[in-house]
Amino acid sequence: MISIVDYGMGNLQSVQKALAKLGFEATLISTPEEVKAATKLIIPGVGAFGDAMKGLAERGLVPALREAAADGKPIMGICLGMQVFFESSEESPGVEGLGYFKGTVKRFIPNGHKIPHMGWNNLQICGKPRLLAGLGNEPFVYFVHSYFVAPTESDVAAATCEYGETFVAAVERGNLCGTQFHPEKSQDVGLGILANFARI
**Average pLDDT in the 54-64 region?**
97
% of the chain beyond a pLDDT of 70: 100
The yes-or-no verdict on residue 169 having pLDDT over 90 is: yes
Query: Rounded to the nearest 10 degrees, how much is the dihedral formed by the CA atoms of 13, 19, 25, 30?
Result: -40
**pLDDT tens across 113-164, in order?**
899 999 999 999 999 999 999 998 899 999 999 999 999 998 999 999 999 9
C-alpha span between 135 and 197 (Å, rounded)? 13
Q: Tell me if the domain spanning 2-199 has CATH number 1.20.1510.10.
A: no
Measuring CA to CA, how many Å separate 104 from each of 29, 53, 95, 180?
27, 14, 11, 14
In this prediction, residue 154 carries a pLDDT of 85
Q: Among positive and negative, which fits the CA dihedral 150, 155, 161, 165?
A: positive
pTM confidence score: 0.96
**Average pLDDT in the 85-95 region?**
97
**pLDDT tens across 33-45, in order?**
999 999 999 999 8
In the chain, beta strands by DSSP E? 2-5, 26-29, 41-43, 75-78, 88-89, 103-107, 117-122, 124-125, 140-145, 147-151, 157-162, 166-173, 176-179
Distance linking the first and last C-alpha atoms of the chain: 12
Kindly state the helix (H) or strand (E) to which residue 152 belongs, with its residue range.
Answer: none
% of the chain beyond a pLDDT of 90: 90
Catalytic amino acids? 79, 182, 184
Q: Among positive and negative, which fits the CA dihedral 120, 173, 63, 14?
A: positive
